[in-house]
Amino acid sequence: MAIALPEPEPAPPPEWWMRLQETRGTINDALDNLEELYWDLEGAGSLEEPDALTAADVDELPPAA
């Protein structure tokens, strides 16, 4: 007759692993925020290339102080 031994409890992950997971979460949050900002700017048209200044536009600029 075999004696059933209890399963050993898994050891908690090392501290460095926990810090790595926290850092990974922080980086993923930052990337999500950047992606959200990109799409907000894209929707507002802020990422479009500005038109080049023409000579007429330059003539309308106030003189430099």
Domain count, the chain: 1
Q: Find the domain containing 37 and state its range.
A: 15-60
Segments of the chain with pLDDT less than 70: 1, 46-53, 58, 61, 65
Q: Is residue 47 part of a domain?
A: yes
Residue written as token pair 């007759």: 1
Q: What pTM was estimated for this model as a whole?
A: 0.51
* Residue 8 lies inside a defined structural domain of this protein: no
Whether the Cβ atoms of residue 41 and residue 34 lie closer than 8 Å to each other: no
Backbone angles phi, psi at 54, to 5 degrees: -100, 170
The CA distances from residue 61 to 6, 41, 54, in Å, are 83, 27, 11
Judge whether 10 lies within some domain: no
Amino acid identity at 65: A
pLDDT reported for residue 53: 66
pLDDT for position 65: 61
Q: Is residue 38 part of a domain?
A: yes
